Amino acid sequence: MSNNVEDLARANVRALTPYQSARRLGGNGDVWLNANEFPLPVPFELSQQTLNRYPECQPKLVISRYAAYAGVQPEQVLVSRGADEGIELLMRAFCEPGKDAILFCPPTYGMYSVSAETIGIEYRTVPALDNWQLNLPAIADQLDGVKVVYMCSPNNPTGNLIDQDDIRQLLAMTAGKALVVADEAYIEFCPQATLAGWLQEFPHLVILRTLSKAFALAGLRCGFTLANKPVIDLLLKVIAPYPLATPVADVAAQALSEQGIALMRQHAQQLNDNRAWLCEQLPQLSVVQQVFPSETNYILARFTDSPKVFKTLWDQGIILRDQNKNPGLAGCLRISIGTREECERLIAALQALSVEQA
């Protein structure tokens, strides 16, 4: 008998490649444009001095403020350790390992497959069409045994919204069979596109939200699941007893105050303005082949020599996210929108490369 603990681990965990987060990939930059974070910290002060006590599982103030912000009822809101925990709770509550499957449409966010692999649930992929929209007939063909369909809109890393008529069709073909989970991590950059108003009509619709992007709180680890009460009640059965630390709930409640939301909206507007500026500048550079339209705080672009661009900028402390290995994204890098100064440094660095190439 081998004395190797590796052999004791579950087979799917031994085979697992963990999520390659921007933090894990490292780098020594001073211009971080690889994790879709807000570029500047927002200051908060802790007001709760009750760390001797366990926290509330679902802190009431956070829930009521998020419900008011999202335009839903408090009973339709679950708060968790980031939207990532919401992704996994849905699988744990709805998918039988070794029997049920989830489905998603690459290129898209990497955690759907990582969570499925970790729990031991089959995942099916139906590649997006060339315009990054849903391939509905192919999805219809693959739905057998699928319990959860994850659909990211606006999509990470492509930046586009999913067509709402297509989403209606997806909801029609999954009714009574599977949940449709709309990942709205970036919805604050295009708030008119939210599906929150559809919850009354669709009992199998679920929406994921986060404080990590426009709210500038990636380090807080706080996300939300919006759904009708029967779904929320099932998720409450499988969530940890104390998913949110007291300081997390404290800061989240402040971020969701009237002033907190107003500040977030200013920030989202600034980043949208910076994105518009980048979308004018990037196509003028000879190293840039194609710039995909974006509704988010990042831009996906295809470069003539993306490994060289990535490495050259990396060496200058400008860290981008390589998307080369993502299906359909050869030559693509994803650029998070930073401060105006960071955007200018990026363009200057790319200009230097373009001159060199010319």
Q: How far apart are CA 338 and CA 297, in angstroms?
A: 8
Q: Which is nearer to ligand PLP, 89 or 218 (CB)?
A: 218
- Nearest position to ligand PLP, beta carbon: 82
From start to end of the chain, where are the E strands? 31-32, 77-80, 101-104, 122-125, 146-152, 179-183, 205-210, 223-227, 288-291, 298-303, 318-319, 321-322, 332-336
Q: Which is nearer to ligand PLP, 210 or 306 (CB)?
A: 210
Size of site (CB under 6 A) for ligand PLP: 13
> Nearest approach, Cβ of 152 to ligand PLP (angstroms)?
5
Does residue 74 have a cis bond before it (omega within 30 degrees)?
A: no
Which of 39, 59, 82, 260 is close enough to bind ligand PLP by CB under 6 A? 82
* Residue 271 interacts with ligand PLP (CB under 6 A): yes or no: no
If the CB atoms of residues 55 and 86 are measured against ligand PLP, the closer one turns out to be 86
Among candidate residues 358, 184, 214, 205, the one with its CA nearest the CA of residue 275: 214
As given in the structure block, the two tokens for residue 276 are: 């518009």
17 Cβ contact partners less than 8 Å away, ≥ 6 residues apart = 114
**Residue from 91, 143, 161, 218 binding ligand PLP (CB under 6 A):** 218
Which of 194, 212, 294, 297 touches ligand PLP by CB under 6 A? Answer: 212
Q: Does 107 bind ligand PLP (CB under 6 A)?
A: no
For CA atoms 77, 38, 318, 30, the dihedral sign is negative
Residue 90 to residue 226: CA distance in whole angstroms: 12
Applying CB under 6 A, which part among 82-90, 127-135, 166-174, 268-276 lies near ligand PLP?
82-90
Options 34, 156, 246, 254; binder of ligand PLP; rule CB under 6 A: 156
Under the rule (CB under 6 A), what is the footprint of ligand PLP? 36, 82-84, 109, 152, 156, 183, 185, 210, 212, 218, 223
